[in-house]
Amino acid sequence: MERDELALLLSPTGLELLDELAEKGTAEDLVATVSRLRKAGHDPRLVAAALTQSRLRARGGAKFGEFASRMLFTQAGLEQATRIRAAAMHAGRYVQAGLTRVADLGCGIGGDAMALAAMQVEVTAADADEMTAAVATHNLAPFSSAHVIHARAEDIVLDDVDAVYFDPARRTAGHSDTARLTNPDDYSPGLDLVFDVAGRLPTGVKLGPGFDRDLIPDTMEAQWVSVDGSVVELMLWSGALARDGIHRAALVLTDDGSFELTASEDTEDEPVRPLGEYLYEPDGAVIRARLIGDLARSIHAGPVSDGIAYLTGDELHETPFATAFRVRESLPLHEKSLRRWVADNDIGTLEIKKRGVDIDPAVFRKRLNPRGTASATLVLTRVDGRHVALVAERVLSTA
């Protein structure tokens, strides 16, 4: 989205058109929709921008729910935006700590600032990109306790706030077709500033879940967050926002609620166990937080092999931190024999999961040629150092 497109969208005509598209939806035939809007006298540039926003709002529903229907988005801003449920959890930390004036530096399209403002926190939201700041201004307009400024995080004076929130830009500059930055030195604002502020004021820092653990300050709580089975972020907390005695946490958010494993440090793994009747796949947040040992002890299980994150045991234990499978059969990991097994068992729908083997599940599935009417799950992994294919039945999915 370019500056002139945003100006058109923010005009009275543009906002009315966005409301019309929200009420009626876009037609399945895009050409017909464009033709109808142009015949109604709308500027072709506005039509294109409004249709793009309509598509982004549809995608934004996955993160923002019903709020997306009145928000504005950039493609890059939507990709990095915090899911509203996770943003509410972030905001809750500030409220529980009694922090009422927060600077959101690098606010993006304003998702986290919205959650803070909804809890009556006074929010100063800043972004270095002029267009992004304008989008955030629109999104935060309903909240009287929030205001947006176009400024770099480095230039913000923090004398009038009691806490800070950072979501450093982790994508290349621009509003669409951006790429993920792999080097933390390229983040904006830079981590030197972020961690310096975190040492002086209570601070929350949102990072990607794969962030280098060696760069996490020892003084901060590290919390990996999973939403509906996908690890979406790493949150670092300092000062009054960090909990006493907790340096590692795995927060799992599901339709059934929120669940958390916490520890003062990475936990020690359990010894390898012989393959039992049940196989557990830990949630990615538990793996990232290195709390597999605590999870294993809570469900009386152990790893199937050294360095493999699958756990096994002879009893079924319900846990929100792992998905459980019943092991039906253990087969050698040989493509020819597995293709024969698939054919003999009339398998047509084949789920393939893997850990510790150099196999592309999508490519391997095609090579096994499933064409039948039955379904199955194969888990390709190592058991006690040997490569195997486990025929597994999903019996419990709470992650």
Q: How much is the average pLDDT of 57-63? A: 90
Q: What tokens does 83 get?
A: 């899911």
Cis amide leading into 189 (omega within 30): yes
pLDDT at 302 exceeding the cut of 50: yes
* Order of all β-strands in the sheet with 374-383: 302-303, 311-313, 278-282, 322-332, 386-397, 374-383, 347-354
Which pLDDT value is given to residue 398? Answer: 44
**Rounded CA gap, 93 and 97, in Å?**
6
**Rounded CA gap, 171 and 80, in Å?**
8
> What single DSSP character describes residue 271?
P
Mean pLDDT score across all residues of the chain: 91
Q: Reduce the DSSP state of residue 179 to 3 states and report it.
A: coil
Instruction: Round to the nearest angstrom and report the end-to-end CA distance of the chain.
Output: 37
Q: What is the pLDDT of residues 70-125, one digit of tens each?
A: 899 988 889 888 899 999 999 999 999 999 999 999 999 999 999 999 999 999 99
Which pLDDT value is given to residue 399? Answer: 40
Q: Which residue has the tokens 């969208």?
A: 9
Q: Which residue has the tokens 């879940």?
A: 209
Q: What tokens does 364 get?
A: 């391997």
Q: How much is the average pLDDT of 233-244? A: 97
Q: What tokens does 10 get?
A: 């923010």
**Rounded CA gap, 260 and 223, in Å?**
9
Task: Give the pTM.
Answer: 0.88
pLDDT at 173 exceeding the cut of 80: no
Task: Give 398 or 289, the one with higher predicted confidence.
Answer: 289
Helix and strand counts by DSSP (H, E) for the chain: 13, 16
Cα Rg of the chain (Å, integer): 24
